[in-house]
Amino acid sequence: MSKRKLVLSVVTAFFIVILFGIVIIEPAEIWNRIKQNSEELKGGYSDSVVYDGNHYKLLHPIGEKNGSLYISLPDLEAITSVKTAEEENQLTIRYEDKKLTYDNGFIQECSLTKDELCGYEIIDGTAYIPEVSVEKYLGFQMGFFYDKQTNTVSIKSPEEQAKKAHDQELGSTIFVHKDHVPAEKYEPRSGIYLGGYVLQDEFIDTSMNTFNKLTGKTHASYFKYVGYGKPFPKEWAEEVIAAGGFPQVAWEPNNGLDEVKDDEYLRQFAKDAGELNVPILLRYASEMNGTWTFYSGHSKQYIEKWKLVHDVMENEAPNVMMLWNVFTMPESTIDEFYPGDEYVDYVGVNIYNVFYHNDKIEEKSDFEDPLRLLDYVYNTYSHKKPIVIGEFGVTNYTVTDGKHHDDFAVEKITRMYKHLPELYPRVKFIYYFDVNNLVNAPEGRKINNYAITEKKSILNAYAANIKTDQYLSKVEENQAESETYSFRDFFFYYGGELYVDYKFVRDYLNMDVKENSGKSMQVAFNGKSIDVKQESLKIDKAAFFEKREIKGLPLGELLNSFEVENKLLDGNLHIHIAN
């Protein structure tokens, strides 16, 4: 045999072996990857899905197999509005102009690439579709919510993906419209007082006038920290007034609550405040719900001292608005410090978007939504008190990773200031914390830079979003009698119905709610009483990878039974309550 024939024989034999491998081996591989069987999917995931910002309770739990998520076809239909059709051995799933077709259990055009699954699973007669097929053929994004730490699955629609990041996953809102609602002191009804803190911004020489100029808008209010025992800051307050605003005083009993007494100091502080004859927002002893203040952990004494301060201010300084202000976390201790409606003018919360929690690289928190960080306090108290965001700050640089995060700061600032007026009408003040903590914080806390004046992109984002007329530069004199309330995040969809937490029904709709058992509640309104089923769902908290439980009642059934006026507009529910 010639050398040439030998080479041809070897090459031919090689191709025969390759072909034999494809014919014999590849079908077995295909079968292993696309077979339908009753093998149980691995569980461990929450029974909820977050879809475009809203919560959905699932009929069937999310499964996982070989590193891929699987969602049941009935849940996919209920959540995303896909359409399905079955003919003999063919299953077609459609969404808009996209489709996913299975013939005899697998996708004919499947490329069998490493990351693609060509079939679906059948468990107890229910089809489960792998995430890779949902994403590739229908255009949805599926993934672990909060970096897998909560074991909740999120789905994002193609339409949602096309939006800018700060506009994605806002979810729906329930609005409640009421007439003849009395206003609190100096409360605006048509917008939000724009506020800031600049006393540690050396980049602008701590100047309120410079801050107003750089941001393109006069701020209605600025704040200053004052330790209890120090005199009322008259000179600074007059500077605020000269800059076109009114003061917020963050008054802190940092030596403990024992020093707070009805004495000459307290009376003089109040008289000095009263002599200004302008609105003064007094944020007394804030962030008491945490563990880091000298007055934390003493709720009974805290309330006693709060009432004392309130009564003195009421007598000596009627221009003072008492602001009861917490930190966004922990939530569990907040209500035990609440002094009561008659002793509080405004309820506030401090919110910070940091890239990492506690200066720990493993506690990445870039996912946190500033609006969801507001939701707990807002939903709990805004039915009875207007809301203040006493401090809001966003990381643009952190020593935790030694990196700049300008895009993160732009996104979070834009999300907060762009959507706050429309979605949270009961928020009446917001103060930006314009501080570089790398320089100004105490030792051990020099971790994040929150300043917005140092970087043009961040400053521009802030300026662009506050220029709307909804952010107020001066005190609103004429207060309307009608008010709009809103409620977000604490509701879910299940079986085509909207379930809202029972506290909304009780607090915002003024209905009497009594729990019959774990499965139903009795609701009474205007002399009529009905029993309705209860469905519960655990959802993710806004931060720290924890859970909240919603005890949901079917809102549509309640509104129809009690003949409450309502309408659906642009995906949001509007309810009108006659007072």
Residue type, 82: V
What residues contact 11, with CB distance under 8 A and at least 6 apart?
Answer: none
Query: Above 70 in pLDDT, residue 4?
Result: no
Residue type, 59: L
Cβ atoms of 454 and 462 closer than 8 Å? no
Helix axes 264-274, 299-316, angle to 10 degrees: 50
Query: Above 60 in pLDDT, residue 503?
Result: yes
Which DSSP state fits 509? S
How much is the pLDDT for 112? 63
- The DSSP secondary structure of 119-139, one letter per residue, reads B-EEETTEEEEEHHHHHHHH-
Residue 404 φ then ψ, to 5°: -85, 140
Cβ atoms of 326 and 337 closer than 8 Å? yes
Q: For the CA atoms of the chain, what is the radius of gyration?
A: 29
CA distances from residue 318 to 245, 315, 323 in whole angstroms, order as listed: 18, 7, 14
Query: Above 90 in pLDDT, residue 23?
Result: no
CA distances from residue 39 to 42, 66, 120, 122 in whole angstroms, order as listed: 9, 12, 12, 8
How much is the pLDDT for 39? 53
What residues contact 411, with CB distance under 8 A and at least 6 apart?
Answer: 165, 166
| Rounded distance between C-alpha atoms, residue 463 and residue 539, angstroms | 34
Query: Above 80 in pLDDT, residue 346?
Result: yes
**242-300: per-residue pLDDT in tens?**
999 999 999 999 999 999 999 999 999 999 999 998 999 999 999 999 999 999 999 99
Find the mean pLDDT for residues 466-480.
90
Can you tell me whether residue 384 is helix, strand or coil?
A: coil
| Rounded distance between C-alpha atoms, residue 170 and residue 52, angstroms | 7
The better pLDDT of the pair 246, 21 is held by 246
Q: What is the average pLDDT value for the chain, to the nearest integer?
A: 91
What residues contact 386, with CB distance under 8 A and at least 6 apart?
Answer: 184, 187, 346, 347, 426, 427, 428
Query: Above 70 in pLDDT, residue 565?
Result: yes
Query: Above 60 in pLDDT, residue 89?
Result: yes
Tracing tokens 């919603």 back to the chain, one arrives at 550
How much is the pLDDT for 3? 40
How much is the pLDDT for 8? 40
Q: Where are the alpha helices (DSSP H) in 350-391?
A: 370-381
3-state secondary structure 446-488: CCEECCCCCCHHHHHHHHHHHCCCCEECCCCCCCCCCEEEEEE
